[in-house]
Chains A and B, each alone.
Chain A
Amino acid sequence: MNLILLYLLLLKATVTSFSGLTSMPVVRNDLVEKYHVLTDRQLNAAVAAGRSAPGPNGLYIVSVGYFVAGVPGACMGCLAVITPAFLIIPMLRYLGARAERPALKSAIQGVTLAAAGLIITATVPLARDALTGPLAIAIAVGSFLFLVLTRKDTLWVILGSAAAGLTGKLLG
C-alpha cells in the first residue's frame, strides 16, 4: 500500500476521534474491509501492543502502520497520531474561552457516544476471531471487569492474560 494513502487513511481515523480507541472503527472499516491490507487478528494484536506500551493509548495506530507496511508504515502511523495534536495551537490562539460553548461541547459528546457504539460494532468481528474457547472468553470478561472495577494499570491485564493463555496451553 502507498505510504501516503496509508497516512491519510490513518489520519482520517485519528482526526475524527476524541480519545484512545475511538479511532478503531474507522481503521477497521478502511484497512480491513475496504483495502484488505490488515486482518482482524492483526488489528486485535495492534490494540494489545498499543496497550502494553506506556504512553497514550492511541499509539496502537503505530502498530497498525507496522503491520501494513513495516517500519515506514509505523512512521506513517506515528505521524497520523501526532498530526491532529497540532490543531490545538490555532484553537488556543483564536478560540480561547469560546471553546466552552455548549453547542460545541454537546456535539463532541454526541460524537463520543456514537464512537462507543462503533467500538462495540468493530469489536464483534475481532472477538469472533480471538475468542476461540471458554478460556479466551473468561480472559476477555475477566480483563473487562478488572479494568472497569479497579484503577490498576493495563500492564497487569496483559501479563495476567499471557500467563493464563500459557497455563491453559500447558495444562490442556
Chain B
Amino acid sequence: MRIGNLTFGGGDPTMAALQTELVVRRGWLSQEQYGLVYGLARITPGTNLLAFTAAAGWIIAHWVGAVLGVLAMALPSAVMVVLLTGGYQAWNSNERAMAAIGGTLAAAIGMMATGAWQLLVPHIRRGDRFRAAVIFLGSLVLSLRFSMPPIQVLALGAIVGVFWRGPAEK
C-alpha cells in the first residue's frame, strides 16, 4: 500500500492511471468503489486528485492510508514547486533568465485562459450552452465591472445552480 502510493507520487499521475493500478493490477478497490470514489472526488472542494487519493487510501487502510496517500501525492510535487519558485527568485537579476521567465509568465496567462475554457467545454458539449453562458458571463460582469468579491460570486453560482438545472440533471 505505502510503496504503491509512493510510486505514484513521482510521475504525472491521473485518476485513470490510478484506476489501472488500484483496480486492475492490485485489486485493492472494486470497480464500484472506484466509481463512487471518482464521483465523490469530483464534488469534494479542493484538488480532485488529492480527494481521490484520500478516499482510495481510506478504503484500503483507513486513516493511515488516507494520510499516506495524500502526502505521497502532494509532497514530491510541492517540493518541486518550491524549488522552481526559489529558482525564479534567484534568477530575477539575470537578464537572459528573466527573458526566458517572461516567456513562461506570458504562457501562464494562456494557461489560465485554458483553465477557464476547460471548465466551460463539458457544458458546451452537452448542449447546456445557454445556462453555461449566463452563469459564466454573469460572473464575469459581476466581478470585473462591479468588483463583487469572488466568494459571493461563487455562492451566487451555487444558488443559481440549485434552481436552474442543466439538461442532464432534469
Query: CA A15 – CA B44 in complex, angstroms?
Result: 9
**Residue pair A16, B139 in contact (C-beta under 8 Å):** no
A114: nearest residue on chain B (CB-CB)?
Answer: B157
Query: CA A159 – CA B110 in complex, angstroms?
Result: 14
B144: nearest residue on chain A (CB-CB)?
Answer: A121
**Residue pair B169, A58 in contact (C-beta under 8 Å):** no
**Residue pair B169, A114 in contact (C-beta under 8 Å):** no
With a cutoff of 8 Å between Cβ atoms, the chain A residues found around residue B170 in the complex are 102
As a 0/1 sequence over residues 38 to 77 of chain B, the CB contacts with chain A under 8 angstroms (1 = contact) are: 0111111111111111110011000000100011011111
B67: nearest residue on chain A (CB-CB)?
Answer: A86
**Residue pair B119, A89 in contact (C-beta under 8 Å):** no
Q: How many chain B residues have a CB neighbour from A under 8 Å?
A: 95
**Residue pair B108, A47 in contact (C-beta under 8 Å):** yes
With a cutoff of 8 Å between Cβ atoms, the chain B residues found around residue A91 in the complex are 40, 43-44
Q: B38 CB to closest chain A CB, in angstroms?
A: 11
Are A49 and B84 CB-contacts (below 8 A) given A16-B151, A118-B153?
A: yes
**Residue pair A121, B162 in contact (C-beta under 8 Å):** no
Main secondary structure of the interface of B (DSSP, over half): helix
CB neighbors of A among B73-96 (8 A): 73-78, 80-82, 84-86, 88, 95-96
With a cutoff of 8 Å between Cβ atoms, the chain A residues found around residue B12 in the complex are 54-55, 153
Are A58 and B139 CB-contacts (below 8 A) given A110-B159, A114-B154?
A: no
- Interchain residue pairs with CB less than 8 A apart (24): A41-B105, A44-B109, A47-B108, A55-B73, A56-B77, A58-B46, A62-B85, A67-B85, A82-B50, A85-B53, A88-B44, A109-B123, A110-B157, A110-B162, A113-B139, A116-B136, A120-B116, A140-B113, A147-B110, A148-B117, A161-B104, A161-B106, A165-B99, A166-B100
A residues adjacent to B (C-beta < 8 A):
12, 14-22, 24-26, 29, 41, 44-60, 62-63, 66-67, 71, 74, 77-78, 81-89, 91-92, 95-97, 99-100, 102-124, 126-127, 130-132, 135-137, 139-148, 153-154, 157-158, 160-166, 168-170
B residues adjacent to A (C-beta < 8 A):
9-13, 36-37, 39-55, 58-59, 66, 70-71, 73-78, 80-82, 84-86, 88, 95-96, 99-117, 119-120, 123, 131-132, 135-144, 149-151, 153-154, 156-162, 164-166, 169-170
